[in-house]
């Protein structure tokens, strides 16, 4: 992932949250950015801004990042940075494949090309948490 550090300088560079289904909307301003991978330029002002917003709002990190940076973040391709573990359980992968609509879902290829697989498979808990028999 070293090549991301050669990207143009930006306060924040993040992928979009493709799984929310808003990536294909016409307005970038309506699309949600995700926070599980962030390339942040160190900045004392933004550090304090983020910390203050965290304490003020009590929101989760993704909501805070969207509130503060949604309209100014540099957008990174989610295809290699935001692959959710839950994608492997889905039958339909249109949202994930949207950046390259001519491509076909191939689980082995996607996981081998990904820099990161994010353990998120709602409504299932994280892999290190206890599950019910039904789950």
Task: Select from 77, 64, 68 the least CA-distant residue to 4.
Answer: 77
Report yes or no on whether pTM surpasses 0.85: no
87/95 Cα distance (integer angstroms): 10
Token pair listed for 40? 């942040």
With H, G, I as helix, E, B as strand and everything else as coil, classify residue 88.
helix
Q: What is the pLDDT of residues 53-106, one digit of tens each?
A: 999 998 989 999 999 998 889 999 888 888 999 999 999 998 888 878 788 899
pLDDT score recorded for residue 112: 93
Q: What is the pLDDT of residues 94-125, one digit of tens each?
A: 888 887 878 889 999 999 999 988 888 888 88
119/124 Cα distance (integer angstroms): 10
Q: What is the pLDDT of residues 19-50, one digit of tens each?
A: 887 766 657 667 899 998 999 888 999 999 99
With H, G, I as helix, E, B as strand and everything else as coil, classify residue 23.
coil
């Amino acid at each position: 992932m070293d090549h991301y550090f050669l990207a143009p300088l930006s306060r924040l560079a993040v992928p979009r949250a493709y799984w929310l289904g808003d990536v294909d909307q016409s307005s970038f301003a309506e699309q949600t950015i995700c926070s599980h991978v962030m390339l942040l330029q160190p900045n004392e002002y933004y550090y304090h801004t983020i910390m203050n917003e965290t304490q003020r709002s009590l929101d989760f990190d993704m909501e805070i990042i969207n509130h503060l940076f949604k309209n100014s973040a540099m957008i990174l391709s989610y295809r290699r940075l935001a692959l959710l573990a839950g994608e492997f359980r889905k039958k339909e992968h249109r949202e994930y494949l949207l950046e390259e609509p001519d491509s076909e879902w191939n689980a082995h290829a996607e996981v081998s090309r990904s820099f990161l697989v994010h353990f998120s498979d709602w409504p299932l808990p994280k892999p290190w948490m206890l599950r019910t028999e039904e789950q």
